[in-house]
Amino acid sequence: MRRVTTVEIPGHISGFWYVYKREDPLHTGTVGAGLVIEPGLIVSSNQGNNEKLVFNGKELRVDTLESAYKYAGIDGIPIKVSSPFELGRGYGVSAALALGGLFISFMERGILKSWLEIGRYAHLAEVENVTGYGDVITEIYGGGLEVRIEPGAPGIGIVDRVPVPSNIHVLTVELDKYTTLDMFKKYGNKIRESGIKVYKEFTKAPSIESFLHLSHRFSLETGMLTKELDTKLRELLGTYISQGRVLGYFVKKGLLVVVSEDNASTEVYKTISSLGVPKIFRLNFSGCRVI
């Protein structure tokens, strides 16, 4: 039987979160909620190439990926990645690279591993490099709108799914770029203060509407969304919001996220183009998948 050497890993954008750091990194993670989106990273074997990672045609070294190989005790197979996401923009790319690289490296050697085991290696690498605390588990399980109710790696952390309509598009504009570590240095105290409050409120009545309302509040309270940008967005999107065609918006790191009904996405795309180059995604419900 031919070994499969291509996998798609979805992106993940947290709306709000709170970090639990514990002595055991497998139990370190976040509670919170976020959107799992596609199309995602397409990761495949690149045997014969001298570089371990070619990302959108460019040779890269990503420490989180190298750490994932270390934890798995395996030499990484050269991989090539086609991605609609850039690193450092808030899409969970480092986690996706770790998951995809490990999957390919095991499969190319004929070693069978479950996503739970692959995910634990990737989670350890994320925690070590401070590149993410909840992306691995959410990208594995998908679910569209996910809520992390217990922190930790796959098999330890617990992810629930919130029912959402299928006619939703997620539009993003990349406003700024900085690392997760820089984010925590800049907003860490405010993330702790706001994150636990909005998470508790969300769990009382979880829905896509409350998620967007609370993500907007979280991004304002932390400072990721400035009052000036918020005012501009209300001017740009006010009509769509009043019509119920835009469900809400927020900022994660330097990433603007706008959620609309699919019949409004083209108009919304044009409207927010004044802020940068938009991208349009669908919700992912399946998690990681072999293609």
Q: Do residues 53 and 109 both lie within one domain?
A: yes
Has residue 3 got a pLDDT over 80? Answer: no
- 256 belongs to a structural domain: yes
Same domain for 48 and 154, yes or no, is yes
Q: Are residues 94 and 209 in the same domain?
A: no
10 and 153 together in one domain: yes
For residue 264, tell me if it sits in a domain.
yes
Place of tokens 């702790």: 192
Residues 144 and 186 in one domain: no
Mean pLDDT, range 67-77, rounded to an integer: 96
Query: Quick one: 26 and 148 in the same domain?
Result: yes
Give me the number of domains the chain comprises. Answer: 2
The alpha helices in 243-285, defined as continuous H runs, are 265-272
Q: What residues make up the domain containing 271? A: 168-281
Residues 22 and 157 in one domain: yes
Long-range contacts of 243-251 (CB under 8 A, 24+ apart): 247/168, 247/208, 247/209, 247/212, 248/209, 248/211, 248/212, 248/213, 248/215, 248/216, 249/212, 249/216, 250/15, 250/212, 250/215, 250/216, 250/218, 250/219, 250/225, 251/175, 251/219, 251/224, 251/225
Please check whether residues 37 and 141 belong to one and the same domain: yes
Residue 152's domain is classified under what CATH number?
3.30.230.10
193 and 252 in a single domain? The answer is yes
Please indicate, yes or no, if residue 1 is contained in any of the structural domains: no
What pLDDT, on a 0 to 100 scale, did the predictor assign at position 96?
Answer: 98
Q: What is the pLDDT of residues 208-223, one digit of tens each?
A: 999 999 999 999 999 9
Strand partners of residue 26: none
Same-domain status, 108 and 175 = no
Tell me the pLDDT band of 204, cut-offs 50, 70 and 90. very high
> Is the domain of 155 the same as that of 178?
no
Hey, what amino acid is at 93? V
The per-residue pLDDT for range 115-141, each reduced to its tens digit, is 999 999 999 999 999 999 999 999 999
Q: Are residue 254 and residue 132 in the same domain, yes or no?
A: no
Share of residues in the chain with pLDDT > 70 (%): 99
Domain harbouring 235, CATH code: 3.30.70.890
**Amino acid at site 182:** D
Q: Are 128 and 213 in contact (CB under 8 A)?
A: no
Pairing of strands 29-45, 6-20: antiparallel
The pLDDT value recorded for residue 231 is 97
For the cut 70, the answer to whether the pLDDT of residue 2 exceeds it is: no
